[in-house]
Structure 1
Amino acid sequence: MKKALITIQFVIALSLSIVNAASAVTLPAIFSDHMVLQQNAEVIIWGSAKAGEEVTVTGSWDNKSVTTKANNLAKWSVKLNTPPAGGPYTVTVKGYNTIVINDVLTGEVWLASGQSNMEWSAAAGIENAEQEIPKANYPAIRFFSVVHQTADGPQLDVKGEWVVSTPETMKHFSAVAYFFGRELHQELGVPVGLINSSWGGTPGEVWVSPETIAKDPVLKEAAATQEEVQWGPVQPGKAYHAMIAPLIPYRIAGALWYQGESNTNAPEAYATLLPALIHNWRSEWGYEFPFYFVQIAPYKDYGPQAGAILRDAQRRSLKVPNTGMVVVSDIGNNDDIHPRNKIDVGKRLANLTLHKTYGKTERPASGPLYREMKVEGRKVRLFFDYADQGLVSKGKELTNFQIAGEDRQFVDAKAKIEGNTVVVQAKSVKNPTAVRFEWRNAVEPSLFNKAGLPASSFRTDNWPITQEQAEAKK
């Protein structure tokens, strides 16, 4: 009888253990040791548990607990108010079991995404890698790399974990994101969390919800031109579902984007695609976070004028509020789609961010951006933003300007700087109506502002580009 009782007790205990294990509270991978939470914010922490299970979350910065219950879908979430930058703290999540997240910092959290130029690491080969890798010991800079995955619908989790910046972790992380984060950390004096969700060779459509693509005829047609490749997905939403959706609603300060090379097959559509992506992400996160992107560098092997058209499409995407663009035409490589100077790309993104988001207006935000034109007889005067202190030419004269009359035939033009404007003319064009600048795939920039940043390529017209014109100007 005694043995039978012991056996029954053992079975009951084992059954309870199995039930508790099956219903134990769990967290997505984005919540792990060494994570950074956005400072001075209401952050959301979420996970799974047994339906009806009571879950309590406590941040050690104030030891205030928030309690909720898992819903009928076995999901739960709570909101915590984070303190100013600091740490390390712990976050304790208690249900039937207890999870303690250690070495948590509060600071600035930025999401970096795109294709290979964002994904590119020091280990892959960058300028000054031998000098930079050993210096990457920054305990207050943390990395989270999202592992490549695809899905047909929004996923609940990603593969990855937070790690501290060291020479070993830095060399395998996004170089652009690292140099961006280091600049923010050094200037602001706060912890920085960097989430890299990038995939080399992917077109922009894979990073947008398929519903967004399907409802827009321009995007739907452009997406249909993408051909299958061996190195990654091309179908709308495949990376968004698996590598972006699971991160939502982790609180971020903003997003960085370096992508576009794989959209040169339908470059004009990028002026619709990039704003659609921004709106899609902001809508899902539920707030209008800053979105800063890198204009693709000139490269000789894009299709006829495709690089110039896509760069201009990126420039026109600046119409979306709270965005900014970094121009890298002077630090690119016309012979290599993967320029190795990632340090200055990261620093320019940081300067733009420090200026626009953190109020460090002494930092140069941008190179000259075309604003408007004025016809003055046989000349055209061009006006620019980010040129208040004047313009400069790196070289004996300005190059890469073209001008056209009503016949829409562009010819090379003479250009000269007058204060913070540029005056353009050509002897053969008596009644000018339009100007284009750097309207070729491969260019050597000559127009800069006093901060030493290059002007973006642009066109003042919106005329259709015929295949004959494109081939002639390739």
Structure 2
Amino acid sequence: MRIRLPFQLTFLLLLLMGGVVSSAGAVTLPAIFGNHMVLQQNSQVTVWGWGKTGEDITVTGSWDNKPVKTKVNNQAQWQVQLQTPAAGGPHTLTVQGYNTLVLQDVLLGEVWLCSGQSNMEWSAASGIDNAEKHVAEATYPSIRFFQVAHRTANTPQLDVQGQWVVCTPQTMKHFSAVGYFFGREIYQNQKVPVGLINSSWGGTPAEVWLSANAISANPVLAQAAAQRKEVEWGPVQPAKAYNAMIAPLMPFRLAGALWYQGESNTDAPDVYAQLLPTLIQNWRSGFQQEFPFYFVQIAPYKYGGPEEHPRLAEAQQKTLRVPNTGMAVINDIGNIDDIHPRNKLDVGKRLAAWALHQTYGQKNIPFSGPLYQRMKTEGNKIRLFFDHADQGLTAKGKDLTLFEIAGEDRKFVPATARIDGNTVVVSAKNVKKPVAVRMGWSNTAVPNLYSKTGLPASSFRTDDWPRP
């Protein structure tokens, strides 16, 4: 049966349909721009979105009320740059085209991207030390979270799924614990708003977080990536997470990036020595910033193969050769029986120490334990020199442990080690002509060498001999 609608109703429906058509061409923003967001202070920030081809766009921040104008291009995209002043707010950000969007409660402060695998993703709800206390205390209106949803894509995408929320006990409970503790340290020290973007995925190898071009341009990385086997908990193919969870955030202005990953790459530590520096450059290029990149050295754990932990940790330490990077050593706060150590507080604080010292100029804050620098043979002994040992070294316990020494036969034996100022002297009774030293060189080793500032030394070796 055919139904004849009254004229007034037909006219109303046509108006509504016209409204739908108009809204399809109206100005829109990616999810990273929204109420409660944090924009990087004292910077030229990029704001972008979509609209109808030729549409006039005006973007205005209430901090200076200076409109910036552009037109939507023939790809239905637009982009502008705004200059932000020092930290503060709340402000509004107004985007006007055929329609008007007004973002409320916008703060200016420090924005950090947090990424990696499960130890970065791990939240208070997942189980951390003193979780109930930390959750109850997590009322920080000036700290904001943006959680990127798990997604994969074959090509770089334009948007992510997520929204900015204010830090409350309810929102903190499900956000990256390491990211939160880092952000809290920055907020409490700098007294400025902090925005934290968490884009991480448990169990993912680093290859999924680089662009396809970055992988294919390096034959070593491409070959290693091609050998990865599928797993049930997440992607392993190159660029899958990068395309869907990193690329859409570019070129959002950041203060820096945090990285906690490596457990899924312990099978190929030599490859990781190229992989992580490539990732850093890949991200810096995409975000169009040479931002600081601070990462966590993985903790000791009962891995299946020999030397998986120390060799991956070594690859991470080599990444410090990349300018403007830092490494938080956590071999003393891990759990050899649990690949997810529950002490996330000190991990966040150690990352924050790097940022506070290196990025924010707080030179009184200790930020790194001893890192092996060089060795010198002195008869039947070897003297070891370290970076970040200017204030001296100490042992937690009566004697230094987990040192080994080898002669020309390349056979390592347990060694005696003693602290001499800011150096360590190593020897063994039956090694008359020593050529190499190792410390903490096993999957479950927890060294007891520290700086007098209270931070642990990374495991290390002075040789470059291949894996047995």
Q: TM-score range by the shorter chain?
A: over 0.9
SS at match of 1:180: helix
1:333 paired with 2:342, answer: no
SS at match of 2:166: strand
1:235-282 Cα deviation digits (max 9, x unpaired): 110000000000000100000000000001112211111101001001
9-18 or 318-327, larger mean C-alpha shift:
9-18
What is the letter of the counterpart of residue 236 of structure 1? P
- Counterpart for residue 472 of structure 1: none
What is the letter of the counterpart of residue 68 of structure 1? T
147-156 or 427-436, larger mean C-alpha shift:
427-436
The structural deviation recorded for 1:413 is 1.2
- Counterpart for residue 302 of structure 2: 300
Q: 1:27-426, aligned counterparts within 5 Å?
A: 27-426=29-428
What is the letter of the counterpart of residue 269 of structure 1? V
SS at match of 1:142: strand
The structural deviation recorded for 1:212 is 1.2
SS at match of 2:152: coil
Structure 2 distance, partners of 1:385, 1:302, is 31
What is the letter of the counterpart of residue 39 of structure 2? L
9-18 or 122-131, larger mean C-alpha shift:
9-18
Structure 1 distance, partners of 2:264, 2:17, is 54
The structural deviation recorded for 1:214 is 1.5
Identity of aligned residues (%): 66
1:416-463 Cα deviation digits (max 9, x unpaired): 100000011112222222111111000122100011111001111111
- Counterpart for residue 3 of structure 2: none
TM-aligned CA distance change 1:5 to 1:234, over 3 Å? closer
Taking structure 1 as the reference length, the TM-score comes to 0.95
What is the letter of the counterpart of residue 287 of structure 2? W
SS at match of 1:262: helix
The structural deviation recorded for 1:15 is 6.4
SS at match of 2:318: helix
Give the conservation status (yes or no) of the 8 Å contact 1:55–1:69.
yes
SS at match of 1:403: strand
What is the letter of the counterpart of residue 369 of structure 2? G
Give the conservation status (yes or no) of the 8 Å contact 2:138–2:168.
yes
TM-aligned CA distance change 1:177 to 1:7, over 3 Å? closer
Structure 1 distance, partners of 2:181, 2:24, is 43
Structure 2 distance, partners of 1:107, 1:353, is 14
- Counterpart for residue 471 of structure 1: none
Give the conservation status (yes or no) of the 8 Å contact 2:447–2:459.
no
Structure 1 distance, partners of 2:429, 2:435, is 14
- Counterpart for residue 469 of structure 1: none
TM-aligned CA distance change 1:258 to 1:87, over 3 Å? same
Structure 2 distance, partners of 1:311, 1:417, is 23
1:444 to 443, 446, 451: 446
What is the letter of the counterpart of residue 267 of structure 2? N
Provide structure 2 residue ranges, at least 5 long, that are not aligned to the other structure.
Answer: 1-5
453-462 or 163-172, larger mean C-alpha shift:
453-462
TM-aligned CA distance change 1:173 to 1:7, over 3 Å? closer
The structural deviation recorded for 1:61 is 0.7
Count of equivalent residues: 464
Structure 1 distance, partners of 2:20, 2:315, is 57
What is the letter of the counterpart of residue 221 of structure 1? Q
What is the letter of the counterpart of residue 272 of structure 1? Q
102-111 or 16-25, larger mean C-alpha shift:
16-25
TM-aligned CA distance change 1:23 to 1:425, over 3 Å? same
The structural deviation recorded for 1:224 is 2.8
The structural deviation recorded for 1:409 is 1.7
The structural deviation recorded for 1:289 is 0.2
The structural deviation recorded for 1:16 is 4.7
Structure 2 distance, partners of 1:14, 1:122, is 46
Give the conservation status (yes or no) of the 8 Å contact 2:118–2:201.
yes
What is the letter of the counterpart of residue 369 of structure 1? L
1:189-236 Cα deviation digits (max 9, x unpaired): 000000000000000100011221122122123223322111000011
39-48 or 400-409, larger mean C-alpha shift:
400-409
SS at match of 2:410: coil
The structural deviation recorded for 1:284 is 1.0
- Counterpart for residue 427 of structure 1: 429
What is the letter of the counterpart of residue 271 of structure 1? A
Provide structure 1 residue ranges, at least 5 long, that are not aligned to the other structure.
Answer: 467-474
1:360-380 Cα deviation digits (max 9, x unpaired): 011111010011111111111
The structural deviation recorded for 1:19 is 3.5
Structure 1 distance, partners of 2:297, 2:262, is 8
Give the conservation status (yes or no) of the 8 Å contact 1:298–1:333.
yes
Give the conservation status (yes or no) of the 8 Å contact 2:439–2:447.
no
Taking structure 2 as the reference length, the TM-score comes to 0.96
Structure 2 distance, partners of 1:168, 1:43, is 30
What is the letter of the counterpart of residue 20 of structure 1? S
Q: CA RMSD in A?
A: 1.7
Give the conservation status (yes or no) of the 8 Å contact 1:51–1:71.
yes
Structure 2 distance, partners of 1:395, 1:6, is 88
